[in-house]
Amino acid sequence: MKLKVLITGANGLLGQHLTKLLLDKNYQVVATSRGESRLPFEPSDNYTYHSMDIANAFDTYAVMNREKPDVVVHAAAMTNVDDCELQPEQCERINVQGTAQILTDAETFSSHFIFISTDFVFDGEQGNYKEEDDALPISLYGFSKLQAESMVQTSDIPFAIVRTCLVYGNLLKGTRSNIVSWVKESLEHGKTIQVVSDQLRTPTYVEDLAKGIALIIEKKAIGIYHISGKDWLTPYDIALKTAAKFNLDAGKIVKVDASTFKQPGRRPMKTGFVIEKARRELGYEPISFEEGLEKLRS
């Protein structure tokens, strides 16, 4: 019997790449997202798509009862930090209530639950966080994801929590931007952009993140895993490297610090992850940021 994996948030960057990878590995994939499918796959014995609102109990139960997936990868979330701060009820509905709902159904129908979380559960005072470091979010987005993590950790299903950091890559289909695509498109259009130089991250190539999740599925791994890239970079570093790789005008990149922007949601200054646990227990090994840019260029 093929393992059946249900993915929430399948229309997003990670969801698209994880769906492709699992189909390539001959899993049965049930892709779910709100609204119409943006995935470039045709229905088959191994692939089906359902429109599903994770915070709607009737929606989630109907899909989960019909498909009875072995594994649930819960990647759907409200991830815009400022939107979460400005729309707290919606943030709570999607990130907390939505996780509670899909988790309840997974306890009934599934045997492994994988929750995708974020580096924003940390306060950003030290950076290079390990799995056991204290989570102290400074934004409503980070707090909502930590609340969801807590629910997962007290559930009755074997679980893995995957924290990741600043995911970049090309959508297979669609237009949502990430830091690399934003820099590239802005410079291609001759725009001047302001990029912060006093925040640190370990940017994650989306295909690496998908591979890390696939390893967790294959090994039936449980616990918390930090899965990110291995290079500790500022957004300004990322912008300069992107400009160089695509032969764009780096003179249009203005170096600023975080205080330049008056944003509703606070960002942690230094995050980034120590990924030794994922390397040791999963065999996870990410490519470098330079290699990630090269893949985007090819």
Q: What is the pLDDT of residue 242?
A: 98
Phi, psi of 200 (to 5 degrees): -125, 140
Phi, psi of 204 (to 5 degrees): -115, 120
pLDDT digit string, tens, across residues 274-284: 999 999 999 99
- C-alpha radius of gyration, the chain, whole number: 19
Beta bridge partners of 8: 74
Structural domains of the chain in order of their starting residue, each with its CATH number: 4-169+202-230+272-287 (3.40.50.720)
Helix residue spans in the chain (DSSP H): 13-24, 57-67, 81-86, 88-91, 98-109, 140-153, 179-188, 206-219, 235-245, 276-282, 289-297
| Whole-angstrom distance, CA of residue 66 vs CA of residue 151 | 24
Q: What is the pLDDT of residue 61?
A: 97
Q: What is the pLDDT of residue 200?
A: 97
pLDDT digit string, tens, across residues 68-82: 999 999 999 999 999
The residue with tokens 């990630």 is 292
| Whole-angstrom distance, CA of residue 82 vs CA of residue 275 | 28
- Residue ranges of the chain with pLDDT lower than 50? none
